[in-house]
A and B are shown apart, each in its own frame.
Chain A
Amino acid sequence: MMKYILLIAILIAGCKKDNYEKPTSVLTGRVVYNKEALGLRSNGVQLELWQHGFELFTKIPVYVAQDGTFSASLFDGTYKLVLRQGNGPWKNNTDSLDVTVQGTTNVDVTVQPYFILKNTTFTKNTTNITAVVTVESVNTGLPLESVSLYVGNTDIVDQVNNAGSVTVVPDISAPVTLSVTSSAPFARVGVKTAGVAELVYSQVEKLQ
């Protein structure tokens, strides 16, 4: 019995000395264009945090949630926040953003997407889900590839997680109408820029 107590005592004592405190500060923020958070793919778009001055120099990946928000638990310190090149549905920008994390820190990352979605409305009847959306080109440089309507059974809906989809190559001078045969409860629209893997989405909407 004594042996075990000693062992436990050593283990506990050992834990104190050589382990780091876990990080307690939190960096939160949003990826925004024109002060609006962009809708993205869950588990798709990544930001990178880098911290100079330590032997290990490697990125801390920060995934952006599908509503355009992100958060990371960090140690207090100075970091550089950069866009992962070619990853998000926006123009590449190699400029880094200096972020000083001190307790809870909030930072908005402004990006320049090629296309954004506006005035998305969904209607649902017994067999179909229909979306009407305005696609606006806000940066030229790459052409439009397609616009898609995705529907899903959970509120995570995107290119990968969906229960049905329809893709059209539209004329975006007028609002685009898409329709899919489905009775799934959640829907969102995404716009794909040619040559960019990720899409810009509208926020997920629960259909009545």
Chain B
Amino acid sequence: MKRLLIICILFMSCQKDWLDRKPRTIISDEQVWNDPKQIVALLANFYDRLPTETGLVDVSDAADGRLAQWRNMANYDDAMWSGQSNEDGRNNITSYNYNSWYLWNYTLIRDINLSLENIELYGKDLTAAQKQQFSAELRFVRAFNYFELVKRMGGVPLVTKQLVYDYSGNVTDLQQPRAKESEVYDFIASEVDAIKDNLGNDGSVSRANKYTALALKSRAMLYAGSIAKYNNLMAAPITTPGGEVGIPASMANGYYQKALDASREIINSGVYSLYKNNPDPGENFFETIAKKASNKEVIFVKDYLLPTRKHWFSYDNIARGIREDNLGSSSVVPSLNLVESYEYLDGTNGTLKIRTADNSDFIYYDNVADIFANKDARLYGTVIYPGTTFKGLQVSIQAGVMAWNSSRNAYDVVEGSDLGTTYTDGKLLTGTSGPHRSIQEVSNTGFYLKKYIDPNDKTSTRGIQSDMWWIWFRLGEIYLNAGEAAFELGQTGDALTYINALRERAGFGVNSLTILTIDRIRNERRVELAFEDQRLWDLKRWRMADKVWNGNASGADAMVYALYPYRVVRPGDAAHDGKYVFVKMVAPRFRAPRFFQLGNYYTSIDQSVLNNNPKIVKNPFQ
């Protein structure tokens, strides 16, 4: 009887919907697309997946499309590798591979397209305003990603809807051909125009607002304009018959005008202003990047936040002598090439004065920092050079001593076998920060990186790490975009206003330039935006990369140069003893000249992509 009762109870409890239970481990579409918090979480994922060539972290997830490799800062001519010797290949890139900078992250595009469609399909509880804002933000991320694609690959398939296979055995309608290069840029411009007023997020620097979108447009249109202009000025323009690569020269002015208009809208909005909170122009320029509080210059960043959202960039790149950990430091070090591109404040060429005019002797300096006197203050904000401090600590940079040998009437060069060594006269031989010709994790060039190094205590330790942010867009770049676009359009007066505003902040006088050339603008971009992932793309769009990085070992730009300071030991000669002299040389650990070939202007498309989609045409030189 008892058993019967149990069976009865069991049967009764089996109600109709006993098998219809909500899963506890799966979130349904209805739940996701009606919950603003979950959509924001998803957006955070999409923002995080935007690729960059350098950045401050080291992620490479091909399936997800996430790309960021700070070490790539050492692959060009602004810097070299001085860290662990197992990465010395970066100093020995005999030529850039044709598949360098490859990106084909349609996984992200698909996820965004899916989100756009599902918000419309399922998002019944969202207000119209919420839907509009989320959709606008998703489209911004997609446009940003298409810009990353087009600047690497040329025209790519413009996929704006989910591609869903219908199991018919026929996939041809899923195979989309490449759009023209100009069509991708036009798409970016039209997307920005369509969404900029719906983005909201006023005042945010980590989520896109109206001005973030305009900044994207400003940069993208400038790229398109210069590709249209300079590609066609090449002896043999790089094009494909279908226009997947190459933009007609007639479109250049239209793009430059759009770049100028977008830049002006940001500058004239008054929402942003150039950072001028510190009266010292060098410190001020460093803070432009490093200060998160009351920084009105920054437009869009990838932010980090201690104690959990952090990165190793300061651990890996802080100057050796002031590192707070017992390992790491000094990985990416700026080159003399970059240092010399910073002009003197009187507007003269930035080449350092090392030898007398007739090249018969060194120039002797009382202090090791004197050779850098009266330089563009952006040098101080970007590079740690001999005789400067960081975090309040002196960075001791000295390669060795020049000891006068009276028997042969010349100097003997003496360098320490280790750092922080003392010469026989009881004074410094080799500084605690080198430079040293062979020791790893010591600068090989005589300079250290300052931009993006965290100035806060203990941030270069493995235990704490840094939360310095990575800058996607800042107003300084917008000024340069506006200046270049105005110059290309023949509006030199306006161009001068924009360029001079940046130079004035860097310590130059008011209206320091009266004559503008394209070379001057290009140099301004190099010095203002160093290490912000701009120079590679700039040289590509100006079609200068194959001229600058020409693979010639005796060339001026393809090799990375170093500057080694020495203390003079010449007792009894007060004019020379105790002074400092400098020697310029190819950095000892640097091996092969940078060699950018014509086939590098457009990254070759992976064979698996070509095999899967016969409508995709190859890039030239592939």
Contact = CB atoms under 8 A, between A and B. Distances in A.
Interface of A: 43-44, 57-59, 84-87, 142-143, 145, 159-165, 194-197
Nearest to A144: B235
Interface string B600-619: 00000001100100000010
Which of A59, A85, A159, A160: most chain B CB closer than 10 A?
A160
A85 B551 contact: no
Contacts of B554: 162-165
Interface in B575-620: 592-593, 595, 597-599, 607-608, 611, 618, 620
26 contacts: A43-B94, A57-B607, A57-B611, A58-B607, A84-B621, A84-B622, A85-B621, A86-B598, A86-B599, A142-B235, A143-B235, A159-B550, A160-B94, A160-B95, A160-B551, A160-B552, A160-B595, A161-B553, A162-B552, A165-B552, A165-B554, A194-B234, A195-B236, A197-B546, A197-B597, A197-B598
Contact of A85 (B546, B593, B622): B622
Q: Is the interface of A mostly helix, strand, loop or mixed?
A: loop
Contacts of B235: 142-143, 145, 194-195
Contacts of A195: 234-237, 598
B256 to A, nearest CB: 25
B511 to A, nearest CB: 39
Interface residues of B, number: 25
Contacts of A165: 552, 554
Top 3 nearest A-B pairs by Cβ distance?
A195-B236, A194-B235, A86-B621
Contacts of A161: 553
B236 A159 contact: no
Contacts of A84: 621-622
Nearest to A194: B235
A160 B551 CA distance: 5
Contacts of A160: 94-95, 551-553, 592-593, 595
A180 B551 CA distance: 18
Contacts of A87: 599, 621
B620 A85 contact: yes
A144 to B, nearest CB: 9
B595 A196 contact: no
A159 B95 CA distance: 11
Contacts of B95: 44, 160
Given A159-B551, A160-B553, A197 B621 contact: yes
A66 B608 CA distance: 31
Given A160-B552, A195-B236, 10 more contacts: A44-B95, A59-B607, A85-B620, A86-B598, A86-B620, A160-B551, A162-B552, A194-B234, A195-B237, A196-B236
A58 B607 CA distance: 6
A196 B551 contact: no
Interface in B375-421: none
A58 B606 CA distance: 10
Nearest to A86: B621
Contacts of A145: 235
Contacts of A43: 94
Contact of B236 (A59, A142, A164): A142
A194 B553 contact: no
A92 to B, nearest CB: 9
Interface in B539-590: 546, 550-554
A142 B607 CA distance: 29
B99 to A, nearest CB: 12
Nearest to B597: A197
B200 to A, nearest CB: 47
Contacts of A159: 550-552
Contacts of B551: 159-160
Interface string B230-246: 00001111000000000
B236 A194 contact: yes
A25 B592 CA distance: 35
Contacts of B550: 159
A142 B598 CA distance: 15
B308 to A, nearest CB: 42
Interface in B67-99: 94-95
A161 B592 CA distance: 9
A145 B546 CA distance: 14
A164 B552 CA distance: 9
Contacts of A59: 607
Contacts of B622: 84-86
A195 B235 CA distance: 6
Contacts of B598: 86, 195-197
Interface in B32-71: none
A112 B235 CA distance: 19
A196 B234 CA distance: 11
Which of A44, A86, A164: most chain B CB closer than 10 A?
A86
Nearest to A167: B552
Contacts of B236: 142, 194-196
A86 B552 CA distance: 21
Contacts of B553: 160-163
A200 to B, nearest CB: 16
Contacts of B546: 197
Nearest to A44: B95
B622 to A, nearest CB: 6
A162 B598 CA distance: 21
